[in-house]
Amino acid sequence: MNFWKKLFGKKDGKQDKWSAMWEAWEAGGIPSPYNELLTYDDELQDGGHLQFFLNRALRKENMFSVMAALKETLPAGHADNVAQAYRQYCMLGIDPDDDAAIVQALDDAPLAVFDRYYAEHEEELLDVLEAYAASL
């Protein structure tokens, strides 16, 4: 988007749809599989794969359905990355109810390599999100 439009709050239709998509997601109005995709992107921006997986475990979400939704919507490289990150997360055996284990895992950053892939290839994911926003 044009810098001046962003600076002065003017929005084009593309930005309006982008904002509307995130607002709908926050209100719980985005259906699967894009709800999972937006949640994934939001949490990766905030705290990486470890946070994403821990939050799913704390919410007792069905990880098979979450991972299937991500595989359906993520670009191929991202889908492989999140699958590898999840395998590594499972091998860590972190109890989501053990605060000390979580703090230690956050300090150790065992999934940082997967977070780096996400950051280095973020543009591919943004393309998918922009296409979805445009379809709304």
Lowest-confidence region among 6-10, 50-54, 114-118: 6-10
Instruction: Report the b/e string of 73-86 with b at 16+ CB within 10 A.
Output: bbeeebeebbeebb
Greater model confidence, 9 or 78 = 78
At 12 the pLDDT is 56
Evaluate if residue 119 carries a pLDDT over 50.
yes
- Give the span between the Cα atoms of 77 and 63, in whole angstroms: 19
Domain residue ranges of the chain, discontinuous segments joined by +:
12-135
Evaluate if residue 118 carries a pLDDT over 60.
yes
Q: What is the pLDDT of residues 23-60, one digit of tens each?
A: 999 999 999 999 999 999 999 999 999 999 999 999 99
Q: Is 132 within 8 Å of 74 (Cβ atoms)?
A: no
Tokens 């709800």 found at: 35
CA 20 to chain centre: 18
Q: How confident is the model at residue 1 (pLDDT cuts 50, 70, 90)?
A: very low
Instruction: Report the b/e string of 99-131 with b at 16+ CB within 10 A.
Output: eeebeebeeeebbeebbebbeeeeeebeebbee
Name residues whose C-beta falls within 8 Å of residue 14's C-beta, 6 or more positions apart in sequence: 1, 130, 133, 134
Q: How confident is the model at residue 13 (pLDDT cuts 50, 70, 90)?
A: low
Q: What is the pLDDT of residues 59-72, one digit of tens each?
A: 999 999 999 999 99
At 3 the pLDDT is 37
- Give the span between the Cα atoms of 47 and 20, in whole angstroms: 24
Lowest-confidence region among 64-78, 94-108, 110-124: 94-108
- Give the span between the Cα atoms of 66 and 35, in whole angstroms: 10
Q: Is 81 within 8 Å of 14 (Cβ atoms)?
A: no
User: Which candidate, 117, 31, 30, 16, places its Cα nearest to that of 75?
Assistant: 117
